[in-house]
Structure 1
Amino acid sequence: MISKNERIFYENLQLPLVLFDQSKGKLHAELISDGLCNVGTKDRETFLNQLNHDLYHQVHPADKLWLKHDIANFLSKMNDLDVVYRNKIHNGEGYRMVHLIGKWQPMNDGSEMVCFTYYDMMDPAGKLGKLFSNTVDEEDNALFRDTLTGLHNVMYFRQFADERLQLLLSCEKQPVLIYININSLHDYNSQYGYSRGDDLLRLYASLIKEYFPDAMIARAVDDQFVLIDEFSTKTLILDNIKTINHHVQKTAYGKPLGIRVGICIVRPNMTAAKAVDYARIALKNIGDDLSTICNFYSQKQDEQYKKRRYILEHFNEAMEQDWIQPFYHGIVRTTTHKFAIFESLARWIDPVYGTISPAEFIPILSHFHLLHELDFYMVEHICRDLHLAHQARFPLSQISINFSAQDFDHADVVYELNTILQRYNIPKDFIIVEITEQDIARATDHFHMQLEMLREEGYELWLDDFGSDYSSLSVFSQFTFDRIKFDMKLIHNLDEHNQANRRILRLIVNLCKELGIHTLAEGVETQEQLQFLQDIDCELVQGYLFHKPCDITTLLNDYHNCTDAYFESNKK
């Protein structure tokens, strides 16, 4: 418990902090200092209510998951909390960089409270800078030193980085900001212990000082460093990073995974905080490419980053405003050349960016585990379109819908599908569930069980993208599918490597016949491809040779203009 005198003391502090109680297993903000109220321009009661309602409400969506993870580890006393994240600017657009430090604070009654101290990295000379102006007169003050590595800390960087940039520019030198991340330090700590992890950090710190001797270097957060140096060549930076990684791999304990860096060549009038943001974007854009260790920020990357952020921040609005719509791609029977089934595809028609490709928004939604929201939104709209088609006397056709393995992790797919179909009085055999071979390759027992339940409920189950990078014949013995969709890579490369794909497709079609599995080939664009698929008795085909995806209105117009020629009259 906080005593009356303790409350007065902490609330009067100019240091921007919050004290949380965790005695009931959940963080509850108990008090906020005057310093944080002044920085946040909010009264104490409003601030407390916001923190207790949602601690992460203003945090950038891309930072929420890892920040929650780091705070959870801190609360379980697995490690310290010293992180930099992006927080939404109060009453404004965009985000600011915030440095958060967590400590366990002993109280007079012997209990411990959680103390979070917040520093605004984009206002180094503002309110927070004034806090230290009477006590810090030189760069080497102990307040600015990282006790583990001996490097300057992030407070030092925040205070003096802009000065260093201006000094380099005034000497007609080109500044460069390099943001360094140690790959998988958390995993290294888990495997070898925190003492070994500290040794690794000290080794990296000494090597960074050795290979960037004239740079201003600071430890940014627990596994990241930031430095400002004079730019010479990209090759020199890359060689230095490679040398550091090689040295660590030879001398460090265990098997560290090295460092990767994002680099921003600083332009005039660019602040250090903005350069950090750009360097972090460059670092993030390396992604899972293990062969790349350096990435230089470019204007194109900034545009891509802004678009990714726009997609994430406007996803809910896109569903509410129906910017995301089902488009329908016809599937043709090879014996009749008539449309038998339609595949539904998500299309995002945006008021700002125009058409946003699924290749852009699907990976983002997948990364943030939002695909289940998109997929069930699509089911709802498809059922509306089927109802509309029935009213327009369109012969109700089966619709195949792409589902992700994430759907099965976040929802009861069988229940959700049944509920939506019942709402629109749509029979179950009109909906086909498509699962990619990539997802099947990673299937869990829970995933497998739900797939079996879907078939028991009367839904057709298709295997999508067969013949892509994950192909394995073992899929036939592990799951029961009604139809296999051959990936377009097999169709587009029929004659390469001594016509290997022709032989493979012929064998797989014959195997499917023996197993009672129907077949479909996607990506058909030429008469030659169609003729081959007819020759091997592939039952259905799909591709631009016949049809391009379109919305329900266009599809209904096409039907009324050419019923007998292109559409089967009954569902098959």
Structure 2
Amino acid sequence: MSEREEADRAEGVYGRDALAYFNLTNFKQYNATYGAEGGDDFLRKIATVLRHTFPDAPLARMSSDIFMALVPAGDAQSRIEEAVQEVNGLLEGENTYLHAGIRYFSPQERVPVSMACEQAKAACDSIKKERSRAYCIFSEHLRQELEIRSYVISHIDEAVENGYIEIYYQPVVRTLTGKLAGMEALARWRDPVYGFLRPDQFIPVLEEERLIDKLDRYVIRECGRQLRRQIDAHRPIVPISFNVSRMDFQLMDVLSEIEAVVRENELPRDYLRIEITETAMVQDSDKILKMIDRFRGNGYSVWLDDFGSGYSSLNVLKDYHFDELKIDMEFLRAFNDTSRKIITSVVMMAKAIGIHTLAEGVETREQVRFLRSIGCEKIQGYHYGRPMPYDELLVHCQERHLRAETREEARIYEKAGLFNVIMASPVALFLDDGRNLYMAYENDAYRKVMKGVGISGRRAVNWIIHSLDDARKERLRAYADRVTRNRPCKVSETFLLDGRRLRVRAKTLAGLPGFHIHMAEIVDLTRDADSL
């Protein structure tokens, strides 16, 4: 039933009253910004608004930022919307806002107060991410969601024990090479009663009920077992990242759980990556800071998930030490000039402070090209593959020719990945296996110089390198070896190409014996001379 139909029924089928549940979204962030006294002062303002809007109604502050009112059914929606809009008007410019849930009563209905409160809360919670909506009415659909919520709470142990929780994996691809750089482990619940439960139907419930550690322990164990199976099958090892809930830090010793899995499966620690959401930093910040330092001190890579989704992203980077940022997919939903500038700035800032970057939620080739052009190191999203069971992921990667990078390659790419390619000078990156050179990346300025000498792009450059006669190949090889020997200093050399003199200045960004990545700057000396 639509909300309009629900409103029409309020005049007839429903009784005289409706229960209104008011809740502030992101109030913890408001407290973090203005302090406890500022938060308390704002709660008093909400109480004043509610008393003014419902002068004759029973009102109560239930806990923290939750208020309830028993209001007349006839004009409940208009008055509730009025109260919500007035409060949100006081919050203009903040990332905190008020929502309401409404639970109407039919004339003959007898329902426990506790159940009615829970139902009004469910209506309110269902729109907490929809800032523009003032209220939601409890409906049959929400009644079913409450049933699922109750089921999740009482059956999580059974689901874990019987394997109803399945681990799906989504590929992570390195932009420089197009190789598989990792995969994220994501929980899916395939239930014998309710069928496939969406993550948003069970993960928030488990967090709110302080049961999320049961799920996350299972996910961590399964990640360890999956890595062990890769090793035993002599397959290329693909590192796995997994999410750690903010509640996990209160419910268990996360590091001890991970260490136990590493010991049991005899795994190198760099095969497991720990993802922590930005919103987790708002609460228990000191405890989480210490845990992040413990993770990194024990050799684990720690990633900041959903960067940009919270209110204090830059403060998080200032106060916490992360190895990688996962740029929130919301930046990519509106893929316009503004979002491009924001993403570019984020990537440049991350490189400047030594943090790697990964963009999630990537769906189109256009997004891939853009992210690659600005030096974003990794990509995750439907463009390269949806989350899927491991065996399906293997087939998917074979069909898409996604070859896993080796552990040694990963180390080199990580070091080179912090180099900022967004600069005015013409810059390209070359992969060097000790025999052959391959251009893997060029910025716009480099591409412009190549176009000026009649070379259409990266593919043409690599074809020219491959087609050089023996004498020129030997000279190019000698130059690359000299660059490697002189790292990290730049080495200059002038080359002739179709009558044009090109000066190249290169240095080695990273490497191990037999494989290096070089950065090369290029200047067309002939064109410069012609312009004099």
Displacement, 1:505?
A: 2.1
Letter in 2 for 1:543: G
Letter in 1 for 2:17: I
Q: Using a 3 Å threshold, how does the CA distance of structure 1 residues 485 and 272 change in structure 2: closer, same or farther?
A: same
Q: Using a 3 Å threshold, how does the CA distance of structure 1 residues 475 and 298 change in structure 2: closer, same or farther?
A: closer
SS in 2 for 1:474: helix
For residues 445 and 544 of structure 1, the distance between their equivalents in structure 2, rounded to whole angstroms, comes to 36
SS in 2 for 1:307: helix
Which of 294, 303, 310 in structure 2 is aligned with 1:453?
294
Match of 1:264 in 2: 104
For residues 219 and 151 of structure 2, the distance between their equivalents in structure 1, rounded to whole angstroms, comes to 21
Q: Using a 3 Å threshold, how does the CA distance of structure 1 residues 423 and 299 change in structure 2: closer, same or farther?
A: same
For residues 474 and 204 of structure 1, the distance between their equivalents in structure 2, rounded to whole angstroms, comes to 38
Match of 2:56 in 1: 207
Which of 237, 243, 257 in structure 1 is aligned with 2:76?
237
SS in 2 for 1:286: helix
Q: Using a 3 Å threshold, how does the CA distance of structure 1 residues 558 and 389 change in structure 2: closer, same or farther?
A: farther
Displacement, 1:383?
A: 1.1
SS in 1 for 2:311: coil
Which of 379, 391, 398 in structure 2 is aligned with 1:541?
379
Letter in 1 for 2:260: T
Letter in 2 for 1:176: G
Is 1:482 aligned to residue 323 of structure 2? Answer: yes
Match of 1:324 in 2: 165
Displacement, 1:279?
A: 6.9
Match of 1:18 in 2: none
Contact 1:372–1:410 (CA under 8 A) maintained in structure 2: yes
SS in 1 for 2:177: coil
Displacement, 1:395?
A: 1.0
Which of 173, 176, 180 in structure 1 is aligned with 2:15?
176
For residues 249 and 115 of structure 2, the distance between their equivalents in structure 1, rounded to whole angstroms, comes to 35
Alignment of 1:36-51 (within 5 A): none
For residues 529 and 416 of structure 1, the distance between their equivalents in structure 2, rounded to whole angstroms, comes to 37
Q: Using a 3 Å threshold, how does the CA distance of structure 1 residues 566 and 275 change in structure 2: closer, same or farther?
A: same
Is 1:392 aligned to residue 233 of structure 2? Answer: yes
Match of 2:511 in 1: none
Contact 2:322–2:355 (CA under 8 A) maintained in structure 1: yes
For residues 21 and 143 of structure 2, the distance between their equivalents in structure 1, rounded to whole angstroms, comes to 23
For residues 294 and 444 of structure 1, the distance between their equivalents in structure 2, rounded to whole angstroms, comes to 32
Is 1:282 aligned to residue 120 of structure 2? Answer: yes
Q: Which has the higher contact order (CA 8 A, sep 6+)?
A: 2
For residues 549 and 409 of structure 1, the distance between their equivalents in structure 2, rounded to whole angstroms, comes to 29
Displacement, 1:484?
A: 1.3
Which blocks of at least 5 consecutive residues in structure 1 are unaligned? 1-171, 193-200, 210-217, 247-257
For residues 56 and 391 of structure 2, the distance between their equivalents in structure 1, rounded to whole angstroms, comes to 63
Contact 1:265–1:297 (CA under 8 A) maintained in structure 2: no
Q: Using a 3 Å threshold, how does the CA distance of structure 1 residues 539 and 206 change in structure 2: closer, same or farther?
A: closer
Displacement, 1:510?
A: 2.2
Displacement, 1:224?
A: 7.4
Contact 1:279–1:297 (CA under 8 A) maintained in structure 2: no
Once the two structures are superposed, residues 301-329 of structure 1 have per-residue CA deviations (whole angstroms, 9 ceiling, x without a partner) of 21121122222222111111111121111
Q: Using a 3 Å threshold, how does the CA distance of structure 1 residues 527 and 226 change in structure 2: closer, same or farther?
A: closer
For residues 427 and 390 of structure 1, the distance between their equivalents in structure 2, rounded to whole angstroms, comes to 11
Match of 1:510 in 2: 348
Once the two structures are superposed, residues 80-115 of structure 1 have per-residue CA deviations (whole angstroms, 9 ceiling, x without a partner) of xxxxxxxxxxxxxxxxxxxxxxxxxxxxxxxxxxxx
For residues 532 and 241 of structure 1, the distance between their equivalents in structure 2, rounded to whole angstroms, comes to 45
Which of 242, 245, 256 in structure 2 is aligned with 1:401?
242
Displacement, 1:493?
A: 2.5
Match of 2:523 in 1: none
For residues 169 and 271 of structure 2, the distance between their equivalents in structure 1, rounded to whole angstroms, comes to 14
Displacement, 1:208?
A: 3.9
Match of 1:336 in 2: 177
Once the two structures are superposed, residues 105-146 of structure 1 have per-residue CA deviations (whole angstroms, 9 ceiling, x without a partner) of xxxxxxxxxxxxxxxxxxxxxxxxxxxxxxxxxxxxxxxxxx
Contact 2:363–2:382 (CA under 8 A) maintained in structure 1: yes
Once the two structures are superposed, residues 240-299 of structure 1 have per-residue CA deviations (whole angstroms, 9 ceiling, x without a partner) of 7789999xxxxxxxxxxx9977433427xx641379845751354224969988754321
For residues 452 and 488 of structure 1, the distance between their equivalents in structure 2, rounded to whole angstroms, comes to 27
Match of 1:413 in 2: 254
Match of 1:426 in 2: 267
Is 1:566 aligned to residue 403 of structure 2? Answer: yes
Contact 2:278–2:306 (CA under 8 A) maintained in structure 1: yes
Once the two structures are superposed, residues 158-214 of structure 1 have per-residue CA deviations (whole angstroms, 9 ceiling, x without a partner) of xxxxxxxxxxxxxx9745263546879xx9xxx99xxxxxxxx999999249xxxxx
Match of 1:155 in 2: none
Match of 2:418 in 1: none
Displacement, 1:423?
A: 1.3
For residues 245 and 486 of structure 1, the distance between their equivalents in structure 2, rounded to whole angstroms, comes to 32
Instruction: Give the alignment's TM-score, normalised by structure 1.
Output: 0.55
Count residues with an aligned counterpart: 366
Contact 2:84–2:99 (CA under 8 A) maintained in structure 1: yes
